[in-house]
Structure 1
Amino acid sequence: MQDDKFNNLVSLKTLLSIEGIGPYKIFTLLNKFKSFRNILSAGKSELMHTDGVSKKLAERIANASKKVDSVESKVNSELNLLRKLNCKVITYWDEEYPELLRNIYYPPLILYLAGNIEKCDQTGVAIVGTRKPTNYGIQQAEKFASELSKKGITVISGLARGVDSYAHSSALNSNGRTIAVIGSGIDVIYPPENARLFKKISEQGAVVSEFEPGTKPDAQNFPRRNRIISGLSLGVLIIETKQNGGAMQTAAYALDQNREIFALPGNVNSPQSEGPNLLIQKGEAKLVLTAEDIIEELGVKLGHEKKTEKRTRQIALSLFEEKILEALGNEALHIDIIADKTSMNTSECLVHLLSLEFKGLIKQLPGKIFMSV
C-alpha cells in the first residue's frame, strides 16, 4: 500500500475510533479541514467551529493524535494478515470503491475485499431470501440467478444459508459474476460450510465486508450488512421470506436508497411467502415471474448511463443528488433554500451536498452557499 494511502487509512481509523464520529461527521470535518491530517492536528477551538462538533467531541478529536501510533501498529498487523489471505482494504475515496454504494445515506467508509469489484458490477441485482427455502424457492433462486448472469448482470447476495447460497452458486455455474456481502470479518467464513463457495466467489467476483478481520458473525452485524447488499445493487429481488425475515430489512433499505424492489409471488399458505406477497400487496415491489421482468423494469440502467457531454451524466448520482443539482441550476443558493426546494431537512441535504462536492460537481462558498461548477 502506498504511503499516502496507508497514512490516510491510519488517520481514518483513528477518527472512527472516536465516540460520536461516523460518516456524516467525517464528511463535515473533511469539508472544512480538507485532509485527515489537518483534522487530527486541529486545535479544540477550531474544531468547535465545525457544524455538529460539540465541546466534548472537539476534545476527543484533539486528543486522538495520542492514539495514532497504536492505530498504526494495528493497521500494519491488519495489512500483513490481509496479504496472507490475498485480501485487501479500500476506502470511500479510492477509485475501486463501488459508485452505487458511494451514494447511499450511510456508506461504509472502509471495505475489506477478497477478489475484485469491476466496473461491470455496477449493473448488479441482489437476490435475497430465507435460510430455509422450499423446493420452489430453491428452484426460482437458481433460475433467476442463472438467467441474470447469462445477461451479464452481477448477482449480489449475503452468503447466508438458503436462498443466498443457491443464488451465488447458480451465478457461478452460469459463468457469471457474483458478490457476497458478509456480516463478519473477511477472515471469518460464516456459515462454515460455505468455505468452498467463499473461495469460488472471490475468484469470480468478490466477497465484501465492512467489518475488521476477526469480527465474529454477531446478530447485530447483519442489518448493517443488508444495507450494503441493496446499496451495491440496481434492484433487489426477494425470494421467500417471512414478514420479519432479514430479506425484508434489505427490501426496506432498498426502498430508502431509491432502488427497485422485485418480489416473487408464492403460496399464500406458505410462511416463506409472507414477505414477498406482502411487498406486492403494499405496492412496494413489482411482481416478477422471470428475469426478463427485472431487465425490462431496470431498462436503461442495465445498459449503463447514456453517453452525454455533460460530466454529471458520467458520474453515478443518487436521486437526492440529482434533485439538488436540479434545484441549484446556475444559481448560488444557501443550504436552507436548497433544503426547502428539495424537501429535505438541512442535515440530510448537507450529506448529499458534501458528496456532490467530493465528486467535483458543486463548490461551497462562504456562508453555507453552494453552486454548481
Structure 2
Amino acid sequence: MTEPEIIAALRLQNIPNIGDVTAKKLIAHCGSPTAIFEDKLHHLLKIDGIGKMTLKGLFDSIHLEEAQKEFEFLSKADISISYFMDDGYPARLKHCVDGPILLFQRGNIDLNYQKIISVVGTRNVTNYGTSFCQQFIEELAPLNPIIVSGLAYGVDIAVQKAAMDHGLQTIACMAHGLNQIYPKVHAKYRSKIERNGGFMTEFWSNSQPNRENFLKRNRIIAGISEATIVIESAEKGGSLVTADLAHGYNREVFAVPGRATDKWSKGCNDLIKYQKAHLLTSAAELIYLLGWDIEAENQEKTVQKQLFVELDETEQSIYSYLQLNGKQLLDTVALECNLPIFKVSSTLLNMEMKGVIRPLPGKMFEAV
C-alpha cells in the first residue's frame, strides 16, 4: 500500500462519525481511500446508508494534517501498518465486517501459522486460574500455537507469561497507541514479547487506555483467533463481551468451570450452563474439538491422494486452497475460491465422501 493510500486511510479512520463498517462501504464504492477524498460530497451521499451527519467533516483539513502527523510517528517508531485488504492483515479478522481498516503492529508477529487462540479472563485471577493457565499452555506447547491476549492484570499476563516461558509466539492486543504500555508495570515484558510475537492495536499514538477502548479492542481479540478461551470471569466483565463477540463471529468459545460458590467462576459457569461455550478442563479437549492432532502435525500432507482420487475442477480448486491455507471457515472458502456458498457446501460434502477433506467444529474444513 502506497504512502498516500495509507495517509488517506488514516484520515478516514480519524473522522468521528465514520466507523469501520462505513469506512469499508466508502472504500468499496470509490475503489480506494484516496478516491474517497477525490470524489464529490453529493456523489458520496448517494451511497445506501450514508447520510450528511455521517460525512460531516469528511473534507476538513485537520483530519489530513493529523493523519500525516500520525504516519510520520508510525514510520519513525518502526511500527508496521496493515490495511484490511492487504495479504498481511489477519486472515480471520479480514472476514469480520467490523474489523478495523488499519492495524498497527510492532515486533516479530507471524500470522501465517493457523493455530491462533485467544485467552481472556478476570484481572482478579485466583491461584486456580493461574495454575490452569500454566498447565494449559504447557500441554498446548507441542503444537506451537499463537497465544493472543490483552496484557492486562490477571489472566492476560498469566497466560502470556506462560506462553513466553514455553517459547510460544504471543500477541498483546492493546487498547491504546503503541507508544506506551498499559499497565506500566508490564512494560518489562516488552522486549521478550517483541522477540517472539509483538503488540497489535487499531489505536493512534494519542489514544489513552480508556474503558471504551478496551471494549472496542475485544472484537480484535475475538476475531483474530480460531477460538476464545475464558479462564475465570465474574458474572459481568470484558471477558464475557469477548466471548459473545467470538460467538457472533462463528468462532469456538471455551470456558473453564469453577465451583458454584466462586465469584470469579460465575461468568464461566454461566457460559457453559447456557451453552455459549464448551466446557474446558484440559488442553486435550481443545485439541479434540478444534480438530488439532499432534500426530498429524508430524506427518506429511497426503498429497498422493490426488493420484488415487479424481477431483473435478471445483473440487481441485477447493482442495488446493485448503492444502495451502490449512483449516478454514466455509464462508472463507467460498469467498477466497470465488464460489457461491451453496456450491461450496455440496462440493465439500462430495469431497468428504471421497476422503480428501474432513469437517471440523464451527463450520471449518481442512484437507486430509
SS at match of 2:18: coil
Match of 1:239 in 2: 231
Match of 1:10 in 2: 7
**Residue 211 of structure 1 aligns to which amino acid in structure 2?**
F
Q: Choose from 75, 82, 85 the match for 2:70.
A: 75
Offset of 1:256 from its aligned partner? 0.6
Q: Is contact 1:123–1:301 with CA below 8 Å preserved after alignment?
A: no
Post-superposition CA distance 1:74-102 (Å, at most 9, x none): 1343224423xxx3222212222110111
Q: Does 1:92 align with 2:84?
A: yes
In structure 2, stretches of 5+ residues that fail to align are 304-314, 345-368
Q: Choose from 184, 188, 206 the match for 2:180.
A: 188
Q: Which has the higher helix share?
A: 1
Instruction: State which drifts further: 96-105 or 14-23.
Output: 14-23
**Residue 310 of structure 1 aligns to which amino acid in structure 2?**
S
Q: Is contact 2:17–2:55 with CA below 8 Å preserved after alignment?
A: no
SS at match of 1:299: coil
Match of 2:24 in 1: 27
Q: Is contact 1:28–1:51 with CA below 8 Å preserved after alignment?
A: no
Match of 2:109 in 1: 117
Q: Choose from 312, 316, 320 the match for 1:309.
A: 316
**Residue 75 of structure 1 aligns to which amino acid in structure 2?**
E
Alignment RMSD: 2.8
Offset of 1:31 from its aligned partner? 2.3
Match of 2:34 in 1: 37
Match of 1:201 in 2: 193
- The aligned runs of 1:316-331 (5 Å cut-off) are 325-327=339-341, 329=343
Judging changes above 3 Å, is the alpha-carbon distance between structure 1 residues 35 and 199 closer, same or farther for their aligned structure 2 residues? same
Post-superposition CA distance 1:126-173 (Å, at most 9, x none): 111111111111100111122223311111111011111110011111
- The aligned runs of 1:157-236 (5 Å cut-off) are 157-236=149-228
Q: Distance in 1 between matches of 2:94 and 2:225?
A: 12
SS at match of 1:309: helix
Q: Does 1:107 align with 2:104?
A: no
Q: Choose from 46, 62, 66 the match for 1:49.
A: 46
Match of 1:257 in 2: 249
Instruction: Quote the sequence identity (%).
Output: 29
**Residue 23 of structure 1 aligns to which amino acid in structure 2?**
D
Q: Is contact 1:10–1:71 with CA below 8 Å preserved after alignment?
A: no
In structure 1, stretches of 5+ residues that fail to align are 331-373
Instruction: State which drifts further: 245-254 or 16-25.
Output: 16-25
Aligned residue-pair number: 322
Q: Is contact 2:83–2:89 with CA below 8 Å preserved after alignment?
A: yes
Q: Distance in 2 between matches of 1:300 and 1:136?
A: 26
**Residue 138 of structure 1 aligns to which amino acid in structure 2?**
T
